[in-house]
Amino acid sequence: MSAKSKKFVLLVTVMVTILSMMTACAAPATEAPATQAPAGEAFTIGISNPFISSEYRTQMIDELIQVNKEYMDQGITSELVIESADTDVAGQIQQLQNLMAKNVDAILVNPGDVSGLNATLEEAVGKGIIVISVDQELNVPKVYNVGIDQKEWAKTSAKWLADKLGGEGEIVQIEGFPGHPANVARMEGVAEVLADYPGITVLATDTGKWDEATGQQVMSNFLSAYPNLNGYWTQDGMAIGALQAVMAANPAEWPQGVGEGRCQYLKLWQEALALNPDFDSIAVANHPGVSPTGLRIAVNMLQGKEVDTSKLGGANGLSFVLPLAAVITSENLEEGLAMCEGQPDAYLLDDILTDEEVVSTYFK
């Protein structure tokens, strides 16, 4: 064999060896995808809460953590980033900026102002973040809302009070924080109802700051200033303080009053009846479960499910309006107390939609 031929055979042998080695090395890479599905990326959810001095917000945060854990256990979410502190509009804007800096995929925001957050929320939407206002409705382009209809919620108890008084009498109002979206909607609702009852006079309105002790002090002041008061309208934890003030003063004629769907209030109502069987009340649940339900909605949106917009309402047609968890009157007070069995006094009558309920109700 010539030298030229030997070189040719050697070259062919080397090429065959290299080709065999490449084939052997490549085999595992082509087999791996057939036995291992690609891992999906888990979502990060943020919550901005500017008011912590209420049992409602405590229950809300606890339930958000519980529902997010369900998703974490399934590998759907990785973290719930919580920005929660008593703060003003500027402070909540900073909360939202912090969440954006952490590259969250969705933001749940319980807004502390009806319009002060708008520009920041639009900035978040512009970054591709799903933004959902929970508990309180905002009218911001591309920002969804999840909660009860706060105006209708207030109208339910306001109409009860007006009818209980027979459309005649003098009342006072104890509101939450002026300027908060829910409080604005609620007070508008009460005003709409009372406009149909010209025989009812509102003697005064003051803020109880959504605080039990403050509500009690405000009501005590009202009872001193207006000893012949016929009724009072209030909301949330302030209702407990208001009834405590009435029970402490024990006037000759008790004003009829609006309560709240909290176990502590229902038990206090029962105690009040032992002192004065003529006292009556109503407790319309403003349930914290709207926020974890909002978390479920956000996760399903992040998973690419299509929202059925025909099921939405609200000011900008982007509101998931949830049904009330409960309406308690004297006729079903025992039923309400039964709902409190095994629950702490601070527990608010609640309802959190399941994942299946969310999908079947609001998605195509």
- For residues 58 and 347, give the distance between their C-alpha atoms in angstroms, rounded to a whole number: 10
pLDDT tens sequence across 129-149: 999 999 999 999 999 999 999
pLDDT in tens, 221-280: 999 999 999 999 999 999 999 999 999 999 999 999 999 999 999 999 999 999 999 999
Model confidence pLDDT, tens digit, residues 149-175: 999 999 999 999 999 999 999 999 999
Q: Token pair for residue 308?
A: 């059925």
User: Which amino acid is it at 166?
Assistant: G
- Give the mean pLDDT of the chain: 90
pLDDT tens digits along 268-312: 999 999 999 999 999 999 999 999 999 999 999 999 999 999 999
Q: What is the pLDDT of residue 67?
A: 98
Cα–Cα–Cα angle for 178, 184, 187, nearest 5°? 100
For tokens 């108890």, what's the residue?
157
With 60 as the cut, is the pLDDT of residue 347 above it?
yes
Specify the pLDDT at position 53.
87
* Residue-level pLDDT at 27: 33
Tell me, what's the pLDDT at 103?
97
Confidence of residue 40 (pLDDT cuts 50, 70, 90): low
Interval 330-356 mean pLDDT: 97
Residue 2 pLDDT exceeds 50: no
Query: What's the CA gap between 353 and 11, in Å, rounded?
Result: 72
pTM of the model: 0.84
Q: How many residues does the chain have?
A: 364
Q: How far apart are the C-alpha atoms of 347 and 262, rounded to whole Å?
A: 6
Q: Which residue has the tokens 């509102």?
A: 202
Q: Does residue 7 surpass a pLDDT of 80?
A: no
3-state secondary structure the chain: CCHHHHHHHHHHHHHHHHHHHHHHHHHHHHHHHHHCCCCCCCEEEEEEECCCCCHHHHHHHHHHHHHHHHHHHCCCEEEEEEEECCCCHHHHHHHHHHHHHCCCCEEEECCCCCCCCHHHHHHHHHCCCEEEEECCCCCCCCCEEEECCHHHHHHHHHHHHHHHCCCCEEEEEEECCCCCHHHHHHHHHHHHHHCCCCCEEEEEEEECCCCHHHHHHHHHHHHHHCCCCCEEECCCCHHHHHHHHHHHHCCCCCCEECCCCEHHHHHHHHHHHHHCCCCCCCEECCCCCHHHHHHHHHHHHHCCCCECHHHCECCCCCEEECCCCCEECHHHHHHHHHHCCCCCCCCECCCCCCHHHHHHHHEC
